[in-house]
Amino acid sequence: MSRSKKPEAASPQNLVPAQDKAGKEAPFATPAYNQVARAAKLRSMAVSCAEFFVLPDFYATREKDPEWDLNLTFTAEVSHEIFNAAEGVASCEWTWSVHSKVGRKTALSIKATYIVIYSNLHECEQEAVTAYMRRVGRFATYPYFRAHVSQISWESATNLPILPTIST
């Protein structure tokens, strides 16, 4: 069985697809999407899973070469998109990760999944709700992931740089 590889990028900004970028006549800005954007109320956002590991190789390489380029690689994935039209409630999970390799081996990995729940979505179209969760959920959860990585960096003495921001 072949495993599909998640898109990876050197910056989380590069994980934002063109159709989610704002601007004049943005492709996502349909009347149905705008209806969702006006109606949606963020009910809850919470971390549901977090993983971290670091190998001794990471520390050894950092000690030998303090200027070592960490070559951080990011992934982001949305999953478990649910819309209950009768209740006007929708949810999804956003999973963010960042990792660094020493040679070909992953020596540091931080991953966190956030559940996002929206309400007040009565009379909204499922496709527009899903598009909204995919687009807005990305920008809602990423700052929490940035803070999580900073906390892990401090606790683990890995001295990671502050992660870059993302915008549209």
In this predicted structure, what is the pLDDT of residue 167?
74
Residue 99 has pLDDT above 80, yes or no: yes
Kindly state whether residue 148 falls inside one of the protein's structural domains: yes
Tokens of 31: 């009347």
Kindly state whether residue 44 falls inside one of the protein's structural domains: yes
Range of the domain at 76: 39-156
Kindly state whether residue 125 falls inside one of the protein's structural domains: yes
The CA distance from 31 to 37, in Å, is: 10
DSSP state of 15: G
Kindly state whether residue 110 falls inside one of the protein's structural domains: yes
Tokens of 63: 């000690």
In this predicted structure, what is the pLDDT of residue 31?
85
CATH number at residue 107: 3.10.420.10
In this predicted structure, what is the pLDDT of residue 2?
44
Place of tokens 């527009």: 128
Determine contact, residues 13/142, Cβ cutoff 8 Å: no
In this predicted structure, what is the pLDDT of residue 68?
87
Structural domains of the chain, count: 1
Kindly state whether residue 10 falls inside one of the protein's structural domains: no
Kindly state whether residue 13 falls inside one of the protein's structural domains: no
Q: Which amino acid is at 152?
A: I
Kindly state whether residue 105 falls inside one of the protein's structural domains: yes
Whats the size of the chain, residue-wise?
168
Kindly state whether residue 140 falls inside one of the protein's structural domains: yes
Place of tokens 């956030």: 114
Helix and strand totals (H; E) in the chain: 3, 4
